[in-house]
Chains A and B, each alone.
Chain A
Amino acid sequence: MKQPDRRSFLKIAGTSLGIGVLYSAYPAALSRGEAGGLFATLGHANGEKVTPFSFVQLSDAHVGFNGPPDPLGTKAFERAVDMINGLPQKPDLVLFTGDLTHDTEDRDVHVQRMKQFQEISKKINVPLIKCVPGEHDAGLDGGALYREFFGESHYSFDHRGVHFVALDNVSRAKPEVGTEQLDWLKKDLARFPKTAPIVVFTHRPLFDLRPDWEWFTSDGDDVMNVLSSYDNVTVLYGHIHRDDEHETGKVHHYAARSLIFAFPDPNGAAGPRKPVPFDKDHPFKNLGIRTVSFNGKAQPNAQSLSVQDIELTAREFRGINGVQQILREPGV
């Protein structure tokens, strides 16, 4: 039997909408007619075969926030829901990488915000929505209220042969995962071969992106040590309110934009972190646009993840090639 390798194992092609990122996962070998023994191996490891599918990542809706960087409240979130529902290729699931709500010390108000998040998100025509908390959801009460609404803050599940891992790096108030969760992660991954496709989704970056902006996880290196044993790991996160990509060894990290306001480029901004000012003429601008295309062709050292970005303002630029191929009018 031909052994699976990183290049032939999983390709993820995606479209970032400013609302998040649409990922398509499919076994590369499928296109080359090499599916036989490889998928049998995957099916044995994951409990199911790897078959093509797509999913969407959303992040940082901050339901309840209303301030100068974005006075429009949940408008971007609602727009995102419309855009997802308008996608010609229906995603299998949505991953929400934290800060579903904005924090408040008034428990009743926070309850209302979590209910509002659920009311908006349930309008997404998708079979499955999975979440992790952000510090604004869980930082003040250790995640107690979040768990009441959304269940455990760290868990895993398999979908079409891909293993998804939700990591919580906010509920301990500090940016850390903690030894208990690390032990759980080791046990959770122990049953998989090193070639298993793994998607980790969490809120904060698991590496030192910008520590003086609190864009890091203090024990992120410990997490990466666990993940580094695997060849096909993708980490999706939020928190930084902008798109970003990074590699640590064989692991690829992708940040999604927020649904509320953007932060500036961490590589170019000195001093304290400040949101990008709101532009009333382009209210969804600054949610950014990024096109990253790893075409998935089997090439030496080719990466297994491909992302194509489209800004949340896509409807403002309908004439641009590519946009109309992907989107139709929301609500239609």
Chain B
Amino acid sequence: MSASKLARTFTATALCACAMLVYTGANRAHADDIPVIDITAKRFAFSPDRITLKVGKTVKLRLHSEDVTHGFFLRPLKLDEEIPAGETTEVTVTPQAAGTFTTICDHFCGANHGNMNMTIVVE
């Protein structure tokens, strides 16, 4: 291998390493800075059934279905998520106004679907 080729290889390797460091750092910062709230959907309730958020503070909602497909709908927070059966859906939300809101499952899931909801309080 010529000296110039060796130099190019070294430079490319170094750039890749730097890029990986930057990427890893971003993920870490993302994971560190944004709180995660886990919410489980299972016919016919969400657990927990009440969470509290802060105005202007971004959070990630990690939604998991333990049985069938559910929805997660709250117009004022622009939440309209589908939670496929047995899977996890993530959504990031930054509330803009305080209030107490009812989030519903809007994917019909059975007889008591109409009662499947939870409360999100924004302070």
Q: Does B42 contact A (CB under 8 A)?
A: no
List residues of chain B with CB within 8 A of the CB of A318: none
Interface residues of A, count at CB 8 A: 20
List residues of chain A with CB within 8 A of the CB of B108: 103, 135, 139-140, 170, 173-174
Q: Does A33 contact B (CB under 8 A)?
A: no
Contact across chains for A212 and B107 when beta carbons are under 8 A apart: no
In the bound assembly, the distance between CA atoms of A208 and B75 in angstroms comes to 10
Q: Which of B101, B102, B107, B111 contacts A104 (CB 8 A)?
A: B111
In the bound assembly, the distance between CA atoms of A239 and B75 in angstroms comes to 20
The minimal Cβ–Cβ distance linking B15 to chain A, given in whole angstroms, is: 45
List residues of chain A with CB within 8 A of the CB of B71: 174
Q: Does A108 contact B (CB under 8 A)?
A: no
Q: Mark B63-102, 1 if CB is under 8 A from A, else 0.
A: 0000001010111000010100000000000000000011
Contact across chains for A212 and B114 when beta carbons are under 8 A apart: no
Nearest-neighbor residue (CB-CB) of B70 within chain A: A173
Contact across chains for B106 and A272 when beta carbons are under 8 A apart: no
Q: Does A273 contact B (CB under 8 A)?
A: yes
Contact across chains for A211 and B73 when beta carbons are under 8 A apart: yes
Best-buried of B69, B74, B101, B114 by chain A (most CB within 10 Å): B114
Best-buried of B75, B101, B103, B106 by chain A (most CB within 10 Å): B106
Interface residues of B, count at CB 8 A: 20
The minimal Cβ–Cβ distance linking B51 to chain A, given in whole angstroms, is: 16
Contact across chains for B69 and A173 when beta carbons are under 8 A apart: yes
Contact across chains for B110 and A140 when beta carbons are under 8 A apart: yes
* Interface of chain A residues 151 through 176 with chain B (CB within 8 A): 170, 173-175
Contact across chains for A175 and B102 when beta carbons are under 8 A apart: no
List residues of chain A with CB within 8 A of the CB of B102: 212, 271-272
List residues of chain B with CB within 8 A of the CB of A135: 108, 113
A-side interface residues toward B, CB under 8 Å? 102-105, 135, 139-140, 170, 173-175, 208, 211-214, 218, 271-273
Other than the given A212-B117, A218-B80, 19 more pairs (CB < 8 A) read A103-B110, A103-B111, A139-B108, A140-B108, A140-B110, A170-B108, A173-B69, A174-B106, A175-B106, A211-B73, A211-B104, A212-B101, A212-B103, A212-B104, A213-B104, A214-B106, A214-B114, A218-B106, A273-B115
B-side interface residues toward A, CB under 8 Å? 69, 71, 73-75, 80, 82, 101-104, 106-108, 110-111, 113-115, 117
Question: Which 10 interchain pairs have the tightest Cβ spacing?
Answer: A139-B108, A212-B102, A135-B108, A211-B75, A173-B108, A173-B107, A174-B107, A214-B104, A174-B106, A272-B117
